[in-house]
Amino acid sequence: MKGDEITEVVTGNAMDALQGKVSGVQIASAGGPGATPKVIIRGITSVNGSSPLYVVDGVPLNTTNINFINNNDIQSMEVLKDASASAIYGTRASNGVIIITTKKGAAGKTSVDFSASVGFQQIPKPSIAWADEYEQVFKKRYENDGRVAPWNSPYENYAPVDGTDWWKEVINDVTLVQNYSLGVRDGNDKFIYSFSLGYFRNNSQYDVGYWDKLNLRLNTEYNFTDWLKVGLDVAPNMENWADTPNLFGAAQSMDPTTPVLRPEDQWDLENPMNNYQRSYNNQEWNPAGNLARMDSKTRKFQLLANPFIEIRPIKQLILRTQFGINFWMQRSDWYNRGRTSQIQELFDSSSENYIGDLSSFDKVVAGHSYWTFDNWNSMRDVR
């Protein structure tokens, strides 16, 4: 799949753009801003997980989240579904492989690209019972059982205009999605480079909550001679999440005869969070109160680097060694009867050495490859 097809869809994760376009690949969006879509190739293969292996510019990733890639940086995506995937990448490829190739510079060709898009994400309001309908159904249910309905609302015989529209109170029908990207590529016979900068932001369907990311990528290659080439790909990335709850079910289930706030003469002046009215006739928590209590955020920094050396002693033979680094650090802050912070760090590295002709995967299989993986992670709470 070419990069132009991926950028036709404004999304923060390139896998969302593949939905329905690749046979044998099932992709289910996770829904919330910044959430990782579920990708399954050839169906569910194991109770321990069926996620494919992601390989970016030759570096295998120890993650299924590719949010760090700017969609405008992608030259092509290829899905390996057959046994050749395991032949190249080993047992980690048993669930398939998704190969992502980013854009590179070209000798004698200067290109400057800028794109910007602003769109709207809409969720239509479902059909929800108004206060009068809710009262009728609630009482009829007990009447059919031969019992008296435990009606706790302060009034009876509600009109359609009475009560609370909980969907309108907590959910915005339309939200903003922004995407900006700048790319510069150039080169000569000796040196080529590609530089890109991208920003993406997706607000949530609530008054609070968003996800944004800032991507930077630099691809370089230098030809010392006709037979020796070195290169370095560096891709730092920053992401932020804040308060994206899931209150769609609560907005549909909450008793519409219940007001958002308690009567003013019952307000707690010391703790405003106690002023939200509990549901009169069911056990659903007040979604407006839940929304007001939202006070959490997550910040993540990630660095992907891939230096390599390539030697071509004869035309059809390439000796190449490369070292991949994937480092990320994440901090989450939330409020739970006191401020709490959690810091998590992960470092993952891989090295690859192979001999063969890289002009096609069929010829690579005939070569030799050797992989080693080292990783460490740590997590700590800060109060």
Is 201 within 8 Å of 195 (Cβ atoms)?
no
Distance in angstroms (rounded) separating the CA atoms of residues 111 and 187: 10
Distance in angstroms (rounded) separating the CA atoms of residues 56 and 74: 10
For residues 213-251, one letter each, b for 16 or more C-beta atoms within 10 angstroms of the residue's C-beta and e for the rest, the string is: bbbebebbbebeeeeebebebebbbebebbbbbebbebb
- What per-residue confidence (pLDDT) applies to 370? 45
- pLDDT of residue 367 exceeding 90, the answer is no
- Cα angle vertex 65, ends 64, 70, to 5°? 135
Is 11 within 8 Å of 211 (Cβ atoms)?
no
Cβ neighbour number for residue 6 with a 10 Å cutoff:
23
Which is more confidently placed, 204 or 343? 204
- pLDDT of residue 366 exceeding 70, the answer is no
Is 266 within 8 Å of 252 (Cβ atoms)?
no
Poorest-confidence range of 66-80, 340-354, 357-371? 357-371
**pLDDT tens readout for residues 210-228:** 999 999 999 999 999 989 9
**Residue found under tokens 């940086």:** 73
Amino acid at the residue 191: F
Distance in angstroms (rounded) separating the CA atoms of residues 343 and 167: 35
Which is more confidently placed, 17 or 194? 194
- 88 membership: H or E segment, kind and range: helix 84-89
**pLDDT tens readout for residues 261-318:** 999 999 988 888 889 999 999 999 999 998 888 878 888 898 888 888 989 888 778 8
- 348 membership: H or E segment, kind and range: strand 339-356
Backbone angles phi and psi of 314, in degrees to 5: -135, 170
| Furthest-apart CA atoms within the chain: distance in Å | 92
Distance in angstroms (rounded) separating the CA atoms of residues 126 and 173: 11
Helix (H, G, I), strand (E, B) or coil at 292: helix
> With bands split at pLDDT 50, 70 and 90, how would you rate the model's confidence at 365?
very low
Amino acid at the residue 224: F
- What per-residue confidence (pLDDT) applies to 219? 93
- pLDDT of residue 334 exceeding 80, the answer is no
**pLDDT tens readout for residues 88-139:** 777 777 888 889 988 888 888 899 999 999 988 888 899 999 999 999 999 9
> With bands split at pLDDT 50, 70 and 90, how would you rate the model's confidence at 362?
very low
- 288 membership: H or E segment, kind and range: helix 287-292
How much is the average pLDDT of 11-18?
Answer: 82
Distance in angstroms (rounded) separating the CA atoms of residues 33 and 202: 6
What the chain holds in terms of domains, given with CATH numbers, is 3-102 (2.170.130.10), 129-164+246-292 (no CATH)
- What per-residue confidence (pLDDT) applies to 281? 93
Helices (runs of H) and strands (runs of E) counted in the chain: 7, 15
Helix (H, G, I), strand (E, B) or coil at 266: helix
Amino acid at the residue 381: D
Going by C-alpha positions, the residue among 36, 93, 92, 38 that lies closest to residue 65 is 36
Residue 307 exposure: Cα atoms within 13 Å on the Cβ side: 0
The string of DSSP codes covering 131-150 is HHHHHHHHHHHHHHTTS---
- 87 membership: H or E segment, kind and range: helix 84-89
Token output for 286: 């007040």
> With bands split at pLDDT 50, 70 and 90, how would you rate the model's confidence at 16?
confident
